[in-house]
Structure 1
Amino acid sequence: MSIRVMMVDDHPVVRAGLRALLEADARVEVVAEVDSGDGALEELERLSTLGGDLPDLVLMDLNLGAGIDGIETTRKVRARHPDVQVLAVTTFDAEADIVGALEAGATGYVLKDSPTEALIAAVGEAAAGRSVLSPEVQQRLVARMTSPATALSPREAEILEALATGATNREVAKRLFISESTVKTHLVHLYEKLGVDSRTAALRVARERRLIR
Structure 2
Amino acid sequence: MIKVLLADDHEIVRMGLRAVLEGAPDITVVGEVATAEAAIAAAETGGMDVILMDLRFGAGVEGTRVMSGAEATRAIRQLESAPKVLVVTNYDTDADILGAIESGAVGYLLKDAPPAELVSAVRSAAEGDSALSPVVADKLMTRVRTPRSALTPRELEVLQLVAAGASNRQIGEDLMLSEATVKSHLVHIYDKLGVRSRTSAVAAAREQGVL
1:61 aligned to 2:54?
yes
Alignment length (residue pairs)? 205
- Matched position secondary structure for 2:76: helix
- Matched position secondary structure for 1:80: coil
Residues 208 and 13 of structure 1: is their aligned pair in 2 closer, same or farther, counting only changes over 3 Å?
farther
RMSD: 1.8
- Listed one character per residue, the Cα deviations across residues 85-114 of structure 1 (whole Å, up to 9, x for unaligned) are 000111211111110000000011111112
1:199 aligned to 2:192?
no
Aligned residue in 2 for 1:152: 151
Aligned residue in 2 for 1:107: 106
CA distance in 2, matches of 1:173, 1:113: 34
CA distance in 1, matches of 2:56, 2:207: 20
Residues 109 and 199 of structure 1: is their aligned pair in 2 closer, same or farther, counting only changes over 3 Å?
same
Aligned residue in 1 for 2:25: 26
CA distance in 1, matches of 2:82, 2:36: 18
**Counterparts of residues 20-169 of structure 1 (less than 5 Å):** 20-45=19-44, 48=45, 53-66=46-59, 67-169=66-168
Aligned residue in 1 for 2:187: 188
- Listed one character per residue, the Cα deviations across residues 57-116 of structure 1 (whole Å, up to 9, x for unaligned) are 000111212321111111111112543100011121111111000000001111111221
Question: What code does the residue aligned with 2:25 have?
Answer: A
CA distance in 1, matches of 2:40, 2:5: 11
% identical aligned pairs: 48
**Structure 1 residue 19 displacement after superposition:** 0.6
- Matched position secondary structure for 2:67: coil
User: Does the aligned pair in 2 maintain the 1:5–1:56 contact within 8 Å?
Assistant: yes
CA distance in 1, matches of 2:177, 2:142: 29
**Structure 1 residue 187 displacement after superposition:** 0.8
User: Does the aligned pair in 1 maintain the 2:43–2:83 contact within 8 Å?
Assistant: no
The TM-score, its normalising length taken from structure 1, stands at 0.88
CA distance in 2, matches of 1:180, 1:42: 34
CA distance in 2, matches of 1:209, 1:61: 25
**More moved, 187-196 vs 14-23:** 187-196
CA distance in 2, matches of 1:32, 1:204: 43
**Structure 1 residue 155 displacement after superposition:** 2.0
User: Does the aligned pair in 2 maintain the 1:108–1:126 contact within 8 Å?
Assistant: yes
CA distance in 2, matches of 1:89, 1:138: 14
User: Does the aligned pair in 1 maintain the 2:109–2:132 contact within 8 Å?
Assistant: yes
**More moved, 202-211 vs 21-30:** 202-211
User: Does the aligned pair in 2 maintain the 1:8–1:40 contact within 8 Å?
Assistant: yes
Question: What code does the residue aligned with 1:124 have?
Answer: R
- Matched position secondary structure for 1:68: coil
CA distance in 1, matches of 2:74, 2:100: 8
Residues 56 and 206 of structure 1: is their aligned pair in 2 closer, same or farther, counting only changes over 3 Å?
same
* Structure 2 unaligned residues grouped into runs of 5+: 60-65
Residues 55 and 94 of structure 1: is their aligned pair in 2 closer, same or farther, counting only changes over 3 Å?
same
**More moved, 184-193 vs 196-205:** 196-205
